[in-house]
Chain A
Amino acid sequence: MSESTVARSDLADPTARRALMSGVDATPGSAKPDPILVVDNIVRAFGGMTAVDVSHLEVQRGIITALIGPNGAGKTTFFNLITGFDRPTSAKNGAHWSFDGATLDKTSASSVAKAGMVRTFQLTKALSRMTVMDNMMLGAQGQAGENLLKCVFKPLWSGQERAIEEKAKDLLQRFKLLEKKDDYAGSLSGGQRKLLEMARALMSDPKMIMLDEPMAGVNPALTQSLLGHIQSLRDDGTTVLFVEHDMHVVRHISDWVAVMAEGRLVAEGPADTVMSDTAVIDAYLGAHHDTDLGDDALLSDEAMVEMQQEVKAEEAEREEEA
């Protein structure tokens, strides 16, 4: 307990986090001082297409790590692989990943969650025809009443049930969903479902929470409060790994950023460093991201000549490579 409070007070302070990560190389696959998740040689191919090919990645404990990359970079597949929802193609050729010291190579999705690594989904999976409260209660771990032999006898689980309900109410209060607790989850808005899914994941007191695009389809006001929730999670000592496309969000809350493109890890580092990395900018935004494509100035003769030259130069470069 004392250890965790120390870690908490340490990492709730931005300068401490910066100091912690300042010693880490901003190169893909760099070693972290205290990695909670270590991934080696994880490859997933769908037929001829290699969706994920990560040779080494470490995720630091207690901070917020963002995983960014263009569409199709393999971020969600990577999530599925390490949470046990998918099997790597390299399963027998040295694929290895461990969470909090325990090897997860062959662990099922449910055991991964039991070990303390809980995920959410890009397409929210609220259990529509169950109430918000039931959704929350399902998130709790180690319920005696979920054992078939014990579930018939109410006294064996009613005490635990009450404790879980209290905890669920607390969490719902934090996520401003308490007044919805008896509504069906299907009647919630998209953003509220995101909140519900996150709150449900927190019912199990995870060591690490993996959020797949938590801000997608959420309005700016709600984004603010979601960001607040994620930061307070970190301040409470939970490790957060999240996939996000909104660069402002990533810059605002992440302590460390890992960039994937075409299945590979192409860069790592603090948000500012990574976002000024040309490799990242090219992969993510395209080489001409600063150009306004609707700008009439582009139609001037000089601009056209310049662009033609650029095209020629690129073609020459490609021929050289070939």
Chain B
Amino acid sequence: MDTIQAILNSMLREAISPQTAAVAIAAIGLNVHFGFTGLLNIGQSGFMLLGAYGFAISIGHGLPLVVGVLLGFAAALVFALVLGAPTLKLRGDYLAIVTISAAEIIRYVGRSALLTDFTGAAQGLQGVSYRTPFTNLSFFGDGDTTLSPFNIYDIAGGAVWVRLVGWLLLAACVTGIVLVAKAGKGRPTKARRASRDADGLVTATPATERRADLGADARQVAVVSPPVRRTVIGVLVAVSVFLLFFLMPTSYQDTGVSGWWVRVIAWLLVAVCLLVVYLLVRSPWGRLLRGIREDEDAIRSLGKNVFAIKMQALIIGGLFGALGGMLYVLPASVQPDSMGRSLTFFCYTALLLGGAATIFGPALGAVIFYAARIMIKGVANAYIPDSIMNGQQTEQFSFIVVGVALMLIVIFRPQGILGNKRELRFNV
């Protein structure tokens, strides 16, 4: 039981870590590129690295925090303009080739010994050189805080039955969220079909059962209006989050190098980014993006400046990437080699897992991706003897499993967790 609790704890810690939030923001940017506009950007880590360098170098040279952030954005903006100008008039594949090579160029330039004074070359920049202005902003004070203060250890000392009840409640909440969300889509869910069987109301052939369910579904949609549904989902999500922290009390410094301060700011930024993307894609501008994803020539024939729109999308996604990069290095250090191709692929995994062209997909995907990786690692560490797989190998094993999982997702659930399967049925 303690081993399981330890694994679950480390999963939660990884899921809410600022670096997960950073990857979530980068994946949100990638979603603007790939999910909505259809731009195959395989160099998101280049945008992240540029944002991180712009931020860290300028603060390291004594500029204020705001200027550092703006310079990070400016670097990504210039990068997007330079990348986009020659390639956006060409077919999509060319952008993929150019972005992946440009991201590598950025990384190699960053680690070249000639720039040691600025980028610290392969050693990178230490966090202390640029972190202070950010931590000084904290009003959380010193000391430690445990979330949630009221947790399982307060009820019967964290006995097994308390935990089991808690986990069952959490599972019920998650199931509830899924069911309510699905009811909104107007499709009969398997769960409801099963419950009707149990009621004994419908005991006919599968065909009539399906018809009856469709009828029930139609009524359901009429009864539960979207605002009510949204409220219910909101409440359930809040309860689930509380239950998570109740079951796995987590303790960090209030400010510190990597404490609650940077976590709270990181996830607030994720929320802001999600809101911005939502505002962008619900507008006619967002409709244009999806139109360009479907067929550029058709949009051109309707009198829209496709090049300008694609450039705007590339820049906006790149700015999200830069913001993600700044957050990524905030609790750690700027290491060019840790922000290479693999980071881009983590972003893609998070995006595809959550669902491309959805609002919450990239954030949900990032959380699940990092938590799942830690789970695989933890389980392999705890239950596979060292003679078969030692600690270092479990780390690599976790990445292998994640890779296989990504393949399985793309094959069996290409729309991701939140995506709309109906959209994928019409592949051009």
Contact = CB atoms under 8 A, between A and B. Distances in A.
B282 to A, nearest CB: 8
B426 interface: yes
B422 interface: yes
A151 B286 contact: yes
Contacts of B280: 151-152
A119 B428 CA distance: 21
B312 interface: yes
A146 to B, nearest CB: 5
Interface in B272-315: 276, 279-280, 282-288, 290-291, 293-295, 297-306, 309, 312
A114 B286 contact: no
Contacts of B199: none
A11 interface: no
Pick the most buried of A110, A119, A197, A204: most chain B CB atoms within 10 A of its CB: A110
Contacts of B285: 145-148, 151
Given A128-B294, A130-B291, A134-B290, A145 B301 contact: no
Interface stretch (A44-52, A135-143, A244-252): A135-143
B291 to A, nearest CB: 5
A110 B283 contact: no
Contacts of B279: 151-152
A175 interface: no
A187 B284 contact: no
B425 A186 contact: yes
Interface in A65-112: 83, 85, 108-112
Contact of B290 (A112, A130, A203): A130
B134 to A, nearest CB: 27
Contact of A85 (B276, B293, B297): B297
Nearest to B305: A110
A110 B427 CA distance: 25
B117 interface: no
B2 interface: no
A152 B309 CA distance: 15
A317 to B, nearest CB: 45
A110 B304 contact: yes
A125 B422 CA distance: 19
Measured as residues with beta carbon below 8 angstroms from the partner, the interface class of chain B is 35 or more
B302 A118 contact: yes
Contacts of A201: 301-302
A10 interface: no
A176 interface: no
Contact of B302 (A139, A157, A184): A139
Contacts of B154: none
B300 A113 contact: yes
Given A134-B287, A148-B312, A204 B294 contact: no
Pick the most buried of A112, A129, A145, A154: most chain B CB atoms within 10 A of its CB: A129
Contacts of B309: 146
Interface residues of A, number: 43
A262 to B, nearest CB: 26
B284 A130 contact: no
Contacts of A129: 290, 293-294, 423-424, 426, 428
Interface in B148-162: none
Nearest to B422: A184
Given A129-B423, A151-B283, A109 B428 contact: no
B301 A113 contact: yes
B301 A83 contact: yes
A128 B300 contact: no
A99 to B, nearest CB: 13
Contacts of B426: 128-129, 184-187
A285 interface: no
A246 B278 CA distance: 48
A118 B312 CA distance: 25
A150 to B, nearest CB: 8
Contacts of A148: 285, 312, 316
B182 to A, nearest CB: 19
Contacts of A109: 297, 300-301
A200 interface: yes
Given A127-B291, A130-B290, A113 B283 contact: no
B295 A119 contact: no
A127 B298 contact: yes
28 contacts: A108-B300, A110-B305, A113-B304, A127-B298, A128-B294, A128-B427, A128-B428, A129-B293, A129-B426, A130-B290, A137-B284, A138-B287, A138-B299, A139-B302, A141-B303, A143-B284, A145-B283, A145-B285, A151-B279, A151-B283, A151-B284, A152-B283, A161-B284, A184-B425, A186-B428, A200-B302, A201-B301, A203-B302
Given A113-B302, A137-B287, 8 more contacts: A110-B302, A125-B298, A128-B294, A128-B427, A134-B290, A138-B299, A145-B285, A151-B279
The 5 closest A-B pairs by CB, nearest first: A186-B426, A113-B303, A145-B284, A151-B283, A151-B285
